[in-house]
């Protein structure tokens, strides 16, 4: 068991001000795997003070020096990649092979792309008689989720540190061990004291202090829409910058000329990734009414091929959900789907056969779902796919956009130009066309209640920069 007793503040491992500890549970075994300190307001304030004190020096550090330190961090992550994968699988429950590629491989790739971006990023440019400067926004509080814990941490820290900001990280208390390993690597890389600070704890205690504090210039938050609204509310009093990556209810629109088998295979993969615990999961499958029966059959067959089991056993495609609370939430949504009249095609609320221990849920597909049903409107965050039908292209677009969310989506069609035309009308931050690959240099973020601000590439770096013009 891992036992973390201290916070990382001002370049040192320091004792917490409070005495409470938070227990971290392995979702596959339901056994205690770690303990971390439960931070209090004074811990958050100490971290803020350290970040504020360090800001001027770090912001003035030449870009090449910031690059060099980030490169040392990247090498450190590579060296401990195997350990990180084991830890994150124990924390989150994603199968180990997938964890290696996604949960560890992606953050390393994000860090690498950020380092390369600094080679020629225009921190200064001349426009007419003005010199336009891009300067670090200041002290940044990074509040991160449990579903892709290290990836979401690095997606914020890498551009923030590259921009010259100083940072305080509050990781999710559900999956925090990877953040403590990252702090060890940042310390070993030799970042100046106060540039990075780590305080663990709950959102209502540590998170709210960070969001409200006048010495914090920006909050970058990833999590639920409910929590994001609270962050915005607290941040408004000091008019600080807020970047929010929130929930989603993304639609995959399968047009009438699409290869249905390919489209459904791609949608299931996008829906069930990380056992459905993905904000951009394609959880609504929209198919023509005339092709419903075929779609229902293909989706059922495909879902049953997703084996559920021990994430370190080597065979399972899906591991457990992250916690007992999350499992119950998903089960309640499945029960609502049945109660509201959706057709249960496969899966259900019962535990998968042979898995009495662990927070496992069967991969579930509902058919004959209508846009007004709860399972079509609320983010479930589990392996649950809803199939809706439409009569024509206009109705498909209307149904896809009939959501308070707008994070992601997909369009499938044999005609690439037609697919792009439909994609342009979807009110969402990104759209995959015919299974288009994830691009770490493209902007990621949402419309509507899925948040605002963008991550990755130059778009992510610019989130952490202020713009100043000098008229010459």
Sign of CA dihedral 229, 233, 234, 236: positive
Q: Do 233 and 325 reside in the same domain of the chain?
A: no
Please write the tens of the pLDDT for every residue from 317-332: 999 999 999 999 999 9
Instruction: Give percent above pLDDT 70 in the chain.
Output: 100
Residue 328 counted as domain residue? yes
| Dist. CA 52–CA 138, nearest whole Å | 8
Rounded average pLDDT over 109-128: 98
For the chain, what is the domain count?
A: 2
Phi, psi values for residue 466, rounded to 5° = -95, 155
Residue owning tokens 């949608």: 267
Write out the residue range of the structural domain in which residue 32 sits.
2-246+450-471
Q: Which two tokens stand for residue 205?
A: 């205690």
| Dist. CA 466–CA 278, nearest whole Å | 31
Residue 257 counted as domain residue? yes
pLDDT at 315 over 90: no
| Dist. CA 177–CA 200, nearest whole Å | 10
Cα separation values, 81 from 96, 103, 143, 165, 261, Å: 12, 10, 23, 26, 36
346 catalytic? Reply is: no
Answer for the pair 429, 445: CB distance below 8 angstroms, yes or no.
Answer: yes
Catalytic site residue from 165, 177, 271, 279: 279
Residue 340 counted as domain residue? yes
Q: Do 186 and 73 reside in the same domain of the chain?
A: yes
Q: Which two tokens stand for residue 354?
A: 């042979």
| Dist. CA 212–CA 72, nearest whole Å | 33
Residue 445 counted as domain residue? no
Instruction: Give percent above pLDDT 90 in the chain.
Output: 99
pLDDT at 188 over 90: yes
Q: Do 240 and 266 reside in the same domain of the chain?
A: no
245 catalytic? Reply is: yes
> Bridge partners of 405?
448
pLDDT at 126 over 90: yes
Whichever domain contains 235, its CATH number is 3.40.605.10
Q: What is the 3-state secondary structure (H, E, C) of the chain?
A: CEECCCEEECCEEECCCCCCEEEEECCCCCCEEEEEECCCHHHHHHHHHHHHHHHHHHHCCCHHHHHHHHHHHHHHHHHCHHHHHHHHHHHHCCCHHHHHHHHHHHHHHHHHHHHHHCCCCCCEEEECCEEEEEEECCEEEEECCCCCHHHHHHHHHHHHHHHCCEEEEECCCCCCHHHHHHHHHHHHHCCCCCCEEECCCCHHHHHHHHHHCCCCCEEEEECCHHHHHHHHHHHHCCCCEEEEECCCCEEEEECCCCCHHHHHHHHHHHHHHHHHCCCCCEEEEEEEHHHHHHHHHHHHHHHHCCCECCCCCCCCCECCCCCHHHHHHHHHHHHHHHHCCCEEEECCCCCCCCCCCCCCCCCEEEECCCCCCHHHHCCCCCCEEEEEEECCHHHHHHHHHCCCEECCEEEECCCHHHHHHHHHCCCCCCCEECCCCCCCCCCECCEECCEECCECHHHHHHCCEEEEEEEC
Q: Do 131 and 34 reside in the same domain of the chain?
A: yes
| Dist. CA 32–CA 220, nearest whole Å | 30
| pLDDT for position 313 | 87
Rounded average pLDDT over 414-419: 98
Q: Do 155 and 265 reside in the same domain of the chain?
A: no
Please write the tens of the pLDDT for every residue from 271-295: 999 999 999 999 999 999 999 999 9
Catalytic site residue from 91, 245, 379, 463: 245
pLDDT at 463 over 90: yes
Please write the tens of the pLDDT for every residue from 356-371: 999 999 999 999 999 9
Cα separation values, 12 from 15, 45, 66, 200, Å: 10, 15, 20, 15
Average pLDDT, the chain: 97
Q: Do 81 and 198 reside in the same domain of the chain?
A: yes
| pLDDT for position 396 | 98
Q: Do 85 and 110 reside in the same domain of the chain?
A: yes
Residue 290 counted as domain residue? yes
Q: Do 183 and 42 reside in the same domain of the chain?
A: yes
Residue 156 counted as domain residue? yes
Residue 317 counted as domain residue? yes
Q: Do 65 and 193 reside in the same domain of the chain?
A: yes
Please write the tens of the pLDDT for every residue from 127-184: 999 999 999 999 999 999 999 999 999 999 999 999 999 999 999 999 999 999 999 9
| Dist. CA 158–CA 228, nearest whole Å | 21
Please write the tens of the pLDDT for every residue from 36-65: 999 999 999 999 999 999 999 999 999 999
Residue 155 counted as domain residue? yes
pTM of the model: 0.97
Q: Do 256 and 216 reside in the same domain of the chain?
A: no
Q: Do 211 and 287 reside in the same domain of the chain?
A: no
Q: Do 390 and 463 reside in the same domain of the chain?
A: no
Residue owning tokens 């814990």: 149
> Bridge partners of 448?
405
Rounded average pLDDT over 379-393: 98
pLDDT classification of 259: cutoffs 50, 70, 90: very high
């Amino acid at each position: 068991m891992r036992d973390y007793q201290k916070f990382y503040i001002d370049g040192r491992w320091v004792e917490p001000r409070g005495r409470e500890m938070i227990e971290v549970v392995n979702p596959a075994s339901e056994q205690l795997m770690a303990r971390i300190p439960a931070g209090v307001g004074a811990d958050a304030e100490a971290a803020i003070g350290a970040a504020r004190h360090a800001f001027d020096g770090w912001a003035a550090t030449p870009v090449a020096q910031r690059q060099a330190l980030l490169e040392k961090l990247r090498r450190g992550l590579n060296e401990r990649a195997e350990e990180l994968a084991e830890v994150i699988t124990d924390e989150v429950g994603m199968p180990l092979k997938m964890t290696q590629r996604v949960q560890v491989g992606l953050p390393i790739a994000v860090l690498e792309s950020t380092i390369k971006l600094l080679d020629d990023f225009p921190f200064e440019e001349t426009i007419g008689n003005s010199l336009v400067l891009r300067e670090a926004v200041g002290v940044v509080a990074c509040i991160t989720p449990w579903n892709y814990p290290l990836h979401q941490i690095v997606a914020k820290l890498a551009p923030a540190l590259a921009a010259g900001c100083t940072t305080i990280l509050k990781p999710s208390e559900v999956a925090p061990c990877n953040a403590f390993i990252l702090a060890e690597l940042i310390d070993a890389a030799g970042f100046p004291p106060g540039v990075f600070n780590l305080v663990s704890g709950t959102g209502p205690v540590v998170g709210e202090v960070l969001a409200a504090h006048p010495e914090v210039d920006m909050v970058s938050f990833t999590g639920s829409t409910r929590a994001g609204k609270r962050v915005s509310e607290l941040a408004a009093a000091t008019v600080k910058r807020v970047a929010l990556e929130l929930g989603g209810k993304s639609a995959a629109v399968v047009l009438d000329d699409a290869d249905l088998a390919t489209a459904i295979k791609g949608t299931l993969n996008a829906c069930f990734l990380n056992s459905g615990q993905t904000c951009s999961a394609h959880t609504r499958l929209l198919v023509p009414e005339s092709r419903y029966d075929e779609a229902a059959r293909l989706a059922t067959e495909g879902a049953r091929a997703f084996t559920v089991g021990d994430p370190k056993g080597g065979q399972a495609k899906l591991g457990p959900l992250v916690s007992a609370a999350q499992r119950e939430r998903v089960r309640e949504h499945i029960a609502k789907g049945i109660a509201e009249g959706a057709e249960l095609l496969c899966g259900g609320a019962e535990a998968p056969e042979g898995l009495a221990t662990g927070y496992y849920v069967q991969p579930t597909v509902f058919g004959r779902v209508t846009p007004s049903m709860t399972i079509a409107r609320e983010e479930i965050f589990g392996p649950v796919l809803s199939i809706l039908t439409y009569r024509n292209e206009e109705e498909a677009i209307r149904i896809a956009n009939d959501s308070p969310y707008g994070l992601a989506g997909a369009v499938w069609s044999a005609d690439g130009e037609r697919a792009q035309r439909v994609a342009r009308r979807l009110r969402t931050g990104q759209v995959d066309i015919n299974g288009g690959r994830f691009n770490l240099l493209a902007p990621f973020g949402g419309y509507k209640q899925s948040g605002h601000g963008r991550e990755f590439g130059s778009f992510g770096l610019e989130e952490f920069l202020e713009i100043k013009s000098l008229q010459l």
